[in-house]
Structure 1
Amino acid sequence: MITVRYFGGAAEAAGAETEQCPQVPRLDELTGALADAHPALGAVLAVCSFMVNEQSATSDAPLPEDALVDVLPPFAGG
């Protein structure tokens, strides 16, 4: 299982701060499934950054078994 942690507006759009998802091979497959499961999240995901196991990840990043994926929307402040 993949653990997804949502931050800021992504958590609001998903209606949760974390969720467990079935294993998929790549990050883009996961984000597609998340957008299907949470329609309000789709637009937010388009502008988010992602971390996989605490490392910055691109949309085609492979997801190791039991990956931790952080969904980080843009934010302002300092």
Structure 2
Amino acid sequence: MTSSTPSPTATVPATVRVRFFAGAASAAGREEEDVALPAAAGGEPTVGDLVDVLAARGEPLARVLAASTFLLDAEAAERGDRLRPGALLDVLPPFAGG
């Protein structure tokens, strides 16, 4: 007989620190925050899962996120990269100037 109890990784949220820079901070209304994400079907949530949660907060932030790049624990990140609990995601909108 098998148990139907979900595995701990299926129910434990990953809390990720998000830092918003420049226009992203303006659109988010804050410079940083901790975001708790439920585990994804494949295990740990992804950068894309987090971006989708943030974008759902409203059009101004969604527009900035669509044009932004991301650093995950100080390394370039793609939407498919997995987020471990305690990770740090930097949101870097396009910068003007030179």
TM-score, normalisation: structure 2: 0.74
Number of equivalenced pairs:
78
Q: Deviation per CA, 1:18-57: give whole Å up to 9, x if none.
A: 0110035100000000011344200110000000000000
Q: Name 1:61's counterpart in structure 2.
A: 81
> The residue matched to 1:37 in structure 2 has which SS?
coil
Q: What amino acid sits opposite 1:66 in the alignment? A: G
> The residue matched to 1:40 in structure 2 has which SS?
helix
Q: What amino acid sits opposite 2:23 in the alignment? A: G
Instruction: Report 1:27-66 matches (<5 A).
Output: 27-66=47-86
Shift >4 Å, 4+ stretches: none
1:13 matches 2:27: yes
Q: What amino acid sits opposite 1:44 in the alignment? A: V
> The residue matched to 1:22 in structure 2 has which SS?
strand
- Alpha-carbon distance in structure 2 between the residues aligned to 1:38 and 1:17: 17
Structure number, greater radius of gyration: 2
- Alpha-carbon distance in structure 2 between the residues aligned to 1:27 and 1:2: 10
TM-score, normalisation: structure 1: 0.92
Identity across the alignment (%): 42
